[in-house]
Structure 1
Amino acid sequence: MTKQAFRELLEKGLFILDGATGIELQKQGMPLGVCPEQWVLENPDVIKNLQKRYIEAGSHGVYACTFGCNAIKLAEFGLEDQIESMNKALVQLSKEAVGDNGWVIGDLSPTGAQMFPLGLRHFEDIVIAYKKQVKALVEAGVDLFVIETMMDINEARAALIAVKETCDLPVMVSMTYEKNGYTLNGTDPKTAVITLQNLGADAVGCNCSTGPDDMIAIVKAMKPYAKVPLLVKPNAGLPRYENGKTTFDMDAETFAKYVLELVEAGANIIGGCCGSTPDFIKKISDKVKACKPLPWQTKQGSRITSERMMVTIGQDEPTIIVGERINPTGKKRLQEALRDKNMDYVVTLAKEQLEKGAAILDVNVGTSGIDEVEVMKLAVEQLSTFVKVPLCIDSSNIDAIEVALRIYPGRALVNSISLEKHKIERLLPIAKKYGAMFILLPLSDKGLPKSIEEKHHIIEAVYNHAKSLGYEKEDIIVDGLVTTVASNYNAAVETLETIEWCTREFGAGTIMGLSNISFGLPKRQLVNTAFLAMAIAKGLTMAIANPSDELLMHLKLACDVLATRDKDSLHYIQSFNEGKKKDHAPEAIKAEQELHTEKERLDTIRQMVVQGEKDSILDNVKKAVKENHLPKTIIEGYLIPAITRVGELFEDKTYFLPQLIMSAEAMKIAMDYLDPLLEDGKGHQQGEKKKVVIATVKGDIHDIGKNLVSLMLKNYGFDIYDLGKDVSREVIVAKAKEVDADIIALSALMTTTMLEMEHVIRLVKEEGLRAKIMIGGAVITNDYALEIGADGYSEDANTAVKLAYELTR
């Protein structure tokens, strides 16, 4: 199927997908703990009969049973050398099942690995793993692809890049959102759809985790920004435990009624996930026969994203300040940090700018004595993890820009592309490949334009090149090309003329490097501030500036009010409301305003935990000990309050999984050093620690959440026995008995493995262990915990700590 054929197919009406596979296979005898793909190949009639039933029920296409058939997951079962043969055989089974009556969709799922800097796998490792699977699926003859159940937007990007670099088949991408409307890593639906559709996804949507009722809000959030069809594949409500089996609380008729609301909200592609059977698909098919889905958008507006937020650029939006301080020109300390690959200082500069009101950060690492490509990659990896706002990738080195765009977990802004041959021929296609917006710099190989007419000609010429690649004017920000007024009397007037022309005639957003105008003049702040006011009056949408300039930032706020860019003066009022100052620092960087004594060693250590500075904390802890600060004081007075604050930020949804992991790891580094130094009567004693045996249950190879719970509990003084993933009930109970555990903590990510928790609980009771049992995982609920006899349920690592304290009081 071609991409065009896919769009034409969806323009005709709804595309109906299949329902659950894993749970249906278990009903047919697939045991826990096996590789599902291998079991299917050993029992081919099971999958063929199931997929035939889906087609008969009304599915237009089925997912080939290749969900976990990537190299990283297969390695868990020692099958990574069979990736090609297994994928091809599984596709063949689906082809035999559907015949000419439906499409066979190659299914890619999460690898279960964490990417650097949170894990050991680098972005390119993940791309390579997916490419091996994609190549086999293409050779097997799949009609299109789906990338599903993704919790990490950058892993979804890696899979999408793998498909794009291997073939031209259509590809759908489906994220998994929690009940709070965010993925585990903190991506919201509108941010995801902007990021993925610009990277080349042919459809974007959501699946698993929630029922159809909770997905209505997700579809409504995506719809205003979606230039591609929207996909939904909900669970059959919430899981529950009945008569020794996992069931779901929604029947097919109720499910189908909600599907009608999903179509009304904007869904174009409909199916079912966990708990949905062929009966569900039949009900859906019958219900939607007369439905005409809403068309998707043709415009999305000027929007860039990070992993965790979207920024809109436009005449009706507040003027965007792009923080300029991550640029080593004239900054010796930053130059030294870049040469030493000290990203902690780069992150510190970023956070300081966020606190002052920067909405985007310009990132330029070009300085002598470094490998700019390598350092740019490090900077983007760290900033993407620690900083919420989007990045503007700024370099004259095209290779450095390319590596940044490839790994960046959002839609970046490129600074900049001109009519110069190497930029228009090489950099422009790179920017388009990765879905980036770009700053159009009106320069050519002849140099600076000699007249306003030549400048306009260059702008239009670059746009025409970009348009041929699929860009729209909304994807471009024109640089006003500011020169210094000290050497060019007309510099300000020429820039203002360009801004006004772009606003009123050309129809694109504008930006300028503000401080260029005042170079060589005294009292530069006055010139810069006056120039910004004049430019905003002409329609300027963005300015690259120093957000630490208080006069400039205050004037910007006032201009937005006067230019009707700040509805009801909300931003202006909020910015001068001391009680809401943290709104200028969305990650609550230094929202812990009590850290007013940062020069003191212990305050610095506390701050490092809150900000997740794991590379620097050990040196500071060692110095604190040498300065005669007691280990007990450091732990109880600073480390514990710091990680508690991190937990509060996590509960407030100011922090998400990446920030929680980095802070917990910083805490662990400090604790690992201090714990052996504790003396009698001065700290936690080993014998006093409560013992926790923790594991991901048999059949489940996912351990990100379990690892974080383990790390957090250790940081709070619990004695942890981490048994890993895919652990049998016998091993769990034997370890708990051996150490006389106070708590057994169980994790399961999938509905197909959650039932194993009940078997563990039953064995614990049979053996008469005193241990309390707490459970958690993406598919687990408090009701489920009560039904299977667990002593408690926690939805995340922070609440797991609180629960552990309650269970051991």
Structure 2
Amino acid sequence: MASSPNPSLSSSSAYSRTRTDALREALATRVVVADGAMGTMLQAQDPTMEDFENLEGCNEILNITRPDIVRSVHEAYFAVGVDCVETNTFGANHAALAEYDIAERVFELSESGARIAREVADEFTASTGQQRWVLGSMGPGTKLPTLGHAPYTLLRDAYQRNAEGMIAGGADALLVETTQDLLQTKASVIGARKALDTLGVDLPLIVSVTVETTGTMLLGSEIGAALTALEPLGIDMIGLNCATGPAEMSEHLRYLARHSRIPLSCMPNAGLPVLGKNGAHYPLTAPELADAQETFVREYGLSLIGGCCGTTPEHLRQVVERVRDLTPAVRDPRPEPGAASLYQTVPFRQDTAYMAIGERTNANGSKKFREAMLDGRWDDCVEMARDQIREGAHMLDLCVDYVGRDGVADMEELAGRFATASTLPIVLDSTEVPVIRAGLEKLGGRAVINSVNYEDGDGPESRFAKVTKLAQEHGAALIALTIDEEGQARTVEHKVAIAERLIEDLTENWGIHESDILIDTLTFTICTGQEESRGDGIATIGAIRELKRRHPDVQTT
């Protein structure tokens, strides 16, 4: 089978700006209801092995062999009044299809799944006069890049083809769902973003993470870490789905309602599965799901709701009836700017101390770390990171720059290890753009990049532009130095002037929040006794004071 053709706007002719604008308006003004379970509805129609092309369990094949079955599921949900359905493309990704040796069919199965849903949605829109929409489902697959199951870039590029297929088939939004590994989630989101940019279209991009009964995602990520890592990627909505019923989701939704700048969604299972003689049974009744979703809309301001495993058209019928006339609660979120490891978020502003960045994992600042790195004693490097965690650091500076070394290989090795071994966020510290990129592609949490400045200007080929583009793509925060084309600023006035230029540039041209910029007003060594450097420390402190007065939200380091 052919893989994705060269994408172009003409290949996505089913895309409709008017339809998408209507969806954005609906999500901003009322409760939008999505469908429920897909897999069980398909299996209930007893497809044959021939229908599956002898690829048992590959539901996406039915988009080609039995579109009538897939169509009937969408029709059943639209018939009970839902606003949108998800495409039968949950497994139309490289990781899942590679297990059937059909990874080259990502685009084909994605496009066909979206096209079927689009046709049904258009028919119901025409017959009822109520606009119906299609959410392009992007599932997690079976490979966790944080654990080394598959390279980040392989997954990212395959998710781009996945998204391109669904856009071509007529999806109105892209839903990255049931995510378990933050690095896999990033691969999905960034791949989807690349598809949108390539095709020149603008669809809502929604992310739904899965929090287990343990209270974290599968790899141990708290909901705060997920929000900190994913919101800066420029997604339009974040929420929860799968794994549990609504009762277990409540506290995580409460956290999102308090801190998320973007709208929220929730698609729970019909409770926790109960094993019986006939297999797993989901016990939550339709009225109970409707009760829970009504509460979430009233208390947490959710604007997209639906169901996941075990939910049926009857569940969604009652949800539709319950929330039809509800307006989501108005939220007053209080974002907490910070960085995140795979496991936890760390605010830039600490309540009881300054934020301490541990520097002992820096090859230029620690002889012990450098020698361990040069000898390939990776476990020793990890232990040095853990020492700093035990001693109270809030973030870890990771620098592998050393003359004659392959910095990309060293960064891949150490960032990959630190990703799971460190509970603290990582500051990626390098003068080399490829080395920073290598680190970002290993870290599921939110990193900080050290650093950008104007030493070689700010043109499109400057290091400033290249590093800032990486930060924008991966949602990283940035340390920005008060250095311009004339060199390092020495006076309060010069330091503040460069800082103002940095802040204006990063916020207006690159879309980075002021609170995600960490300005370093710098100082030369002040203990040399040289007369010309005696005032440097005072100038640095004075610049920080003036900068904080002008920009209370900006961070300093």
Same fold (TM over 0.5): yes
Quote the offset at 1:367 in angstroms.
0.8
Q: Supply the distance in 1 between the matched residues of 2:39 and 2:343 (Cα, whole angstroms).
A: 31
Does residue 289 (structure 1) correspond to residue 306 (structure 2)? The answer is: no
| Structure-2 residue corresponding to 1:165 | 194
Deviates more, 1:42-51 or 1:296-305: 296-305
Residue deviations 1:697-719, cap 9 Å, x none?
xxxxxxxxxxxxxxxxxxxxxxx
Matched positions, count: 511
**Match runs of 1:120-139 below 5 Å:** 120-139=149-168
* Aligned position for 2:214: 180
* Map of 1:221 onto structure 2: 255
Look up the SS of the partner of 1:389 in the other structure.
Answer: coil
> Given residue 471 of structure 1, which amino acid in structure 2 is its aligned partner?
I
Residue 5 to residue 426, structure 1, CA distance change in 2 (3 Å): farther
Instruction: Assess if the C-alpha contact under 8 Å between 1:502 and 1:510 holds in 2.
Output: no
1:287-324 Cα offsets, whole Å, 9 max, x none, are: 11222113466762321111101011227453111001
Superposition pairs of residues 302-317 of structure 1, within 5 angstroms:
302-314=337-349, 316=351
Matching residue's letter, 2:498: I
How many angstroms apart in 1 are the aligned matches of 2:221 and 2:21?
29
Asked if 2 retains the 8 angstrom alpha-carbon contact of 1:51 and 1:62, the reply is yes
2:514 to 465, 469, 473: 473
Which letter does structure 2 place at the counterpart of 1:490? G
User: Where do 5+ consecutive residues of structure 2 fail to align?
Assistant: 1-15, 50-55, 126-130, 197-201
Q: Which residue of 2 aligns with 1:491?
A: 536
Determine which of 28, 33, 37 is the counterpart of 2:45. 28
Q: Provide the C-alpha distance between the structure 2 equivalents of 1:433 and 1:267, rounded to a whole number of angstroms.
A: 27
Q: Is residue 105 of structure 2 the alignment partner of residue 88 of structure 1?
A: no
The one-letter code matched in structure 2 to 1:139 is A
Choose which of 459, 469, 473 in structure 2 pairs with 1:433: 473
CA 1:306 to 1:418, structure 2 compared with 1: closer, same or farther past 3 Å? same
User: Could you say if the C-alpha distance between residues 483 and 113 of structure 1 is closer, same or farther in structure 2, counting changes exceeding 3 Å?
Assistant: same
1:621-700 counterparts in 2 under 5 A?
none
Q: Structure 2 matches for 1:332-481, cutoff 5 A?
A: 332-420=367-455, 421=457, 422-468=462-508, 469-481=510-522
Distance 2:454 2:498 in 1: 7
Which residue of 289, 297, 300 corresponds with 1:255? Answer: 289
Q: Residues of 1 paired with 2:501 and 2:22: CA distance? A: 32
Aligned to 1:680: none
Structure 2 Cα separation of the partners of residues 77 and 279 of structure 1: 34
User: In the alignment, which residue of structure 1 is the partner of 2:92?
Assistant: 69
Task: Find the residue that maps to 1:325 and give its secondary structure.
Answer: coil
Which residue of structure 2 aligns with residue 115 of structure 1?
145
Task: Determine which of 118, 141, 149 is the counterpart of 2:178.
Answer: 149
**Closer/same/farther in 2, CA of residues 325 and 98 from structure 1, 3 Å limit:** same
With over 3 angstroms needed to count, the CA separation of the structure-2 counterparts of 1:74 and 1:426, relative to structure 1, is: closer
Comparing 106-115 with 230-239, which one deviates more in the overlay? 106-115
Q: CA deviation at 1:371?
A: 1.6
CA distance in 2, matches of 1:106, 1:431: 27
| Unaligned ranges ≥5, structure 1 | 513-809
Greater displacement, 359-368 / 168-177 = 168-177
- Cα root mean square deviation, aligned: 2.2
SS at match of 1:166: helix
Which of the pair has the greater relative contact order for Cα pairs under 8 Å at 6+ separation? 2
Shift of 1:256: 0.2
CA contact (8 A) 1:70 1:111 kept: yes
1:348-387, CA deviations, whole angstroms, 9 ceiling, x for partnerless residues?
A: 2101111111110011111111121222222211111111
CA spacing shift, 1:233–1:316, aligned 2, 3 Å: same
SS of equivalent to 1:366: coil
CA distance in 1, matches of 2:21, 2:421: 39
Tell me how far apart the structure 1 counterparts of residues 519 and 108 of structure 2 sit (CA, whole Å): 51
8 Å CA contact 1:483, 1:491 repeated in 2? yes
Could you tell me which amino acid in structure 2 is paired with residue 426 of structure 1?
Answer: K
1:274 deviation in Å? 0.9
Taking only the aligned residue pairs, the percentage that are identical comes to 28
Map residues 794-809 of structure 1 onto 2, 5 A cutoff.
none
Q: CA contact under 8 A between 2:349 and 2:355: conserved in structure 1?
A: no
- Residue 418 and residue 140 in structure 1: after superposition, are their counterparts in 2 closer, same or farther (change >3 A)? same
CA distance in 1, matches of 2:478, 2:265: 29
Distance 1:50 1:319, change over 3 A: same
What is the letter of the counterpart of residue 104 of structure 1? Answer: V
Task: Check conservation: 1:70, 1:129, Cα contact below 8 A.
Answer: yes
Structure label with greater radius of gyration: 1
Distance 2:442 2:81 in 1: 39
- Name the structure 2 match of 1:37: 60
Normalised to the residue count of structure 1, the TM-score between the two structures is: 0.60
Q: Deviations over 1:534-573 (max 9, x none)?
A: xxxxxxxxxxxxxxxxxxxxxxxxxxxxxxxxxxxxxxxx
Counterpart-to-counterpart distance in 1, 2:386 and 2:507: 36
Counterparts of 1:475 and 1:159, CA distance in 2: 23
